[in-house]
Amino acid sequence: EDAEGRGRSVAAFKRRVQRQQRRMQSFEPREKISREVILPETITIQELSNRMAERAVDVIKLLMKQGQMMKINDVIDADTAEIIATEMGHTVKRVAESDVEEGLFAAVDAESDLVSRPPVVTIMGHVDHGKTSLLDAIRSTKVAAGEAGGITQHIGAYQVEIHGQKITFIDTPGHEAFTAMRSRGAKATDIVVLVVAADDGVMPTTVEAINHTRAAGVPIIVAINKIDKPQADPQRVRTALLQYEVMVESMGGEVLEVEVSAKQRLNLEKLLEAILLQSEVLELRANPSRPAEGTVIEAKLDKGRGPVATVLVQRGTLKVGDILVAGPAWGRVRALLDDHGENVGAALPSMPVEVLGFQETPEAGDRFAVVENEARAREVADYRQRLKREKAQARGSSARGSLTEMMNQLKTAGRKEFALVVKTDVQGSLEAIIGALEKLGNDEVRARVIHGGVGGITESDVSLASASGAAIIGFNVRASKEAREASEREGVEIRYYNIIYDLVDDVKKAMSGMLTPEIRETMLGNAKILEIFNVSKVGKVAGCLVTDGSVERGASVRLIRDNVVIHEGKLSQLKRFKDDAKEVQVGQECGMSFEAYQDMRAGDVIECYRVEEIARTL
């Protein structure tokens, strides 16, 4: 039994040896399995070898043969990966990461689902030709008076009803720095109303507006404004437009024209009827019973409500609770507000609404689409964010590669740079300012925006500016107290503007190395509004506590709410108890009222400053 047991174990041993030998032989010429390898635009060597079921070492060896020293975690592009895969006997299927976006805007609507929708009308024209006033006359509200220098700096969107039919208006800023914003405005539009002042005629921006409209293939209606002025000459406008191939009906052309006066409210009905007539010809239709799609017209970061986007729904119905993606931002709709600031439950095609609930601020001009779930929204937003980051990196990392590139760098290294940090209240203004600043400069000097953002100026902006030797520009925003203190400590200049022209002009002067401020603001002090009193004959009076410096009667003041400037003007009255005071020092309480402005609230900050003129020295 013992021998038999031993014998069995010898046999088992032999069998094991044979098995091993067989295995060794089979391992040598082991047949390769050809796999279909799916390759994205970039892939790590580890991931590639896993997909091919090969050893990563073999892949690295192959790369070495091609003269590339790589580690297992290095990223290679799809072309290199394809060469390796085919060399190792696999077939390749290339996929783009952009496939995650497939089907976002693809679905075509059936004819039977389409119903007619209101026309979307954009008002275009030159600065100060009365676009916003015309819109106001139509809306019968007052916006233009509040815009600095009469330039519309934010896109507004409104709906007007006439004869039971709705018309959506988008007011695009007329200044040429907003070309980018306007070229987007034209994409969302069905009809363009071109406003030309009868006394001023056709201007450069008017021509630009005509070109944009033509590029977008949108019909024009010419509104000749300010015909109530004595020097108005509408006929001159008609002939001037002929040069740009805009033939109005009275000259035998196709283009509708209406002579209007926004101030006297003349012919406004006629203009609206012309718009409705044009929209009937266009047969505008959309399917309301599908997930919504559309365009972001404007977006900003609001302190109380978070990111707020004004969107125009183009197809489908946008409802509260929908999950939507716009550019690299996504969110769930928390609330929809119409142009009067009222809550609405859903927005139909051609309706402009403010959307609350984005995770971050989208960019003006982004298209938005409603997706089925959060996972899909995240996937699309992540992909777009990655794309944005890669683009920024590609711009930022100066290519050190070839000799010619290095030579080019040496050439540009001689240029002086005027570094700036720009903060604005809305995204559209930021883009316009950065665009305008990048155009400035010549071979010796250029302006470089090292950081642009939306919202108040923060401490981190100041530290960035101080590290880069940059100046900070605030457009309609203010620095927080910490940022102000840091800027004084670091010696960083913060300049505030509310008109784009002034901002660009000042940067231009500073770049020419000849900026000596002709008008200097001397900060006198800040006061905080504690309470508002209604006084008969005077109106509203703000009960304030002077928090630093002093406040003088007749000085210029800014009213600041959440670090954003709400109003600029002068102090009309300054009282201490019942008596008029010339000046109130820090720590004391006083009553203030402003010239022609009543909308103060408790908690607002009043900034008091004196404007002095100083002789220029070079």
Give the H or E element holding residue 467.
helix 459-468
Rounded CA-CA distance 530/544 in Å is 5
Q: Say whether both 251 and 363 belong to one domain.
A: no
> Tokens 């892949």, residue?
59
Q: Say whether both 206 and 236 belong to one domain.
A: yes
The model's pTM is 0.54
Q: Is residue 107 included in any domain, yes or no?
A: no
**In the prediction, which pLDDT does 398 show?**
40
Q: Residue 202 is which amino acid?
A: V
Compute φ and ψ for 339, nearest 5 degrees. -70, -10
Domain hosting residue 157, numbered range: 115-285
**In the prediction, which pLDDT does 150 show?**
44
> Measured in whole angstroms, how far is the alpha carbon of residue 188 from the centre of its chain?
15
Q: Is residue 533 included in any domain, yes or no?
A: yes
Query: Under a CB-based contact definition with an 8 Å cutoff, are residues 588 and 330 in contact?
Result: no
Q: Residue 394 is which amino acid?
A: A
Cα torsion 66, 71, 73, 74: sign:
negative
Q: Is residue 400 included in any domain, yes or no?
A: no
Q: Say whether both 121 and 21 belong to one domain.
A: no
Rounded CA-CA distance 15/19 in Å is 6
Residues of the chain with pLDDT under 50: 1, 5, 141-155, 174-178, 186, 397-401, 514-516, 616-618
Q: Say whether both 165 and 254 belong to one domain.
A: yes
**In the prediction, which pLDDT does 410 show?**
53
Q: Is residue 404 included in any domain, yes or no?
A: no
From its phi and psi, is residue 476 left (phi > 0), alpha (psi between -120 and 50) or beta?
left
Q: Say whether both 70 and 8 belong to one domain.
A: no
Query: Under a CB-based contact definition with an 8 Å cutoff, are residues 497 and 475 in contact?
Result: yes
**In the prediction, which pLDDT does 400 show?**
44
**In the prediction, which pLDDT does 151 show?**
43
First to last CA, the chain: 117
Q: Which of 65, 95, 125 is the last residue of a domain?
A: 95
**For the purposes of burial, counting CB atoms within 10 Å of the CB of 2, is it exposed (0-12), middle (13-18) or buried (19 or more)?**
exposed
Q: Which of 362, 384, 380 is nearest to 310 (CA)?
A: 362
Q: Which of 454, 383, 96, 121 is nearest to 275 (CA)?
A: 121
Q: Is residue 308 included in any domain, yes or no?
A: yes
Q: Is residue 402 included in any domain, yes or no?
A: no
Q: Say whether both 271 and 124 belong to one domain.
A: yes
Summarised one tens digit per residue, pLDDT across range 192-223 is 888 888 888 888 778 877 877 776 678 889 98
Buried b (16+ CB within 10 A) or exposed e, 310-341: bbbbbbbbbebebbbbbbbbbbebeebbbbee
Q: Is residue 220 included in any domain, yes or no?
A: yes
> Tokens 């014998």, residue?
7
**In the prediction, which pLDDT does 319 show?**
92
Q: Kind of pairing, strands 191-197 and 220-225? A: parallel
Summarised one tens digit per residue, pLDDT across range 380-424 is 888 888 888 777 666 554 444 455 555 555 555 555 677 888 999
> Measured in whole angstroms, how far is the alpha carbon of residue 87 from the centre of its chain?
47
CATH number, domain containing residue 575: 2.40.30.10
| Tokens coding 339 | 């142009």
Q: Say whether both 495 and 549 belong to one domain.
A: no
Q: Is residue 212 included in any domain, yes or no?
A: yes
**In the prediction, which pLDDT does 402 show?**
52
Q: Say whether both 139 and 178 belong to one domain.
A: yes
Q: Which of 285, 311, 333 is the last residue of a domain?
A: 285
Could you say which DSSP state residue 615 is in? -
Q: Say whether both 258 and 210 belong to one domain.
A: yes
**In the prediction, which pLDDT does 191 show?**
87
Long-range contacts of 255-258 (CB under 8 A, 24+ apart): 255/219, 255/220, 255/221, 255/222, 256/221, 256/222, 257/221, 257/222, 257/223, 257/224, 258/221, 258/222, 258/223, 258/224
Q: Which of 233, 253, 285 is the last residue of a domain?
A: 285
Cite the DSSP H helix spans in 152-283. Answer: 179-187, 204-216, 234-242, 268-282
CATH number, domain containing residue 419: 3.40.50.10050
Q: Say whether both 207 and 278 belong to one domain.
A: yes
**In the prediction, which pLDDT does 526 show?**
92
**In the prediction, which pLDDT does 152 show?**
40
Domain count, the chain: 6
Q: Say whether both 66 and 152 belong to one domain.
A: no
Q: Say whether both 568 and 601 belong to one domain.
A: yes
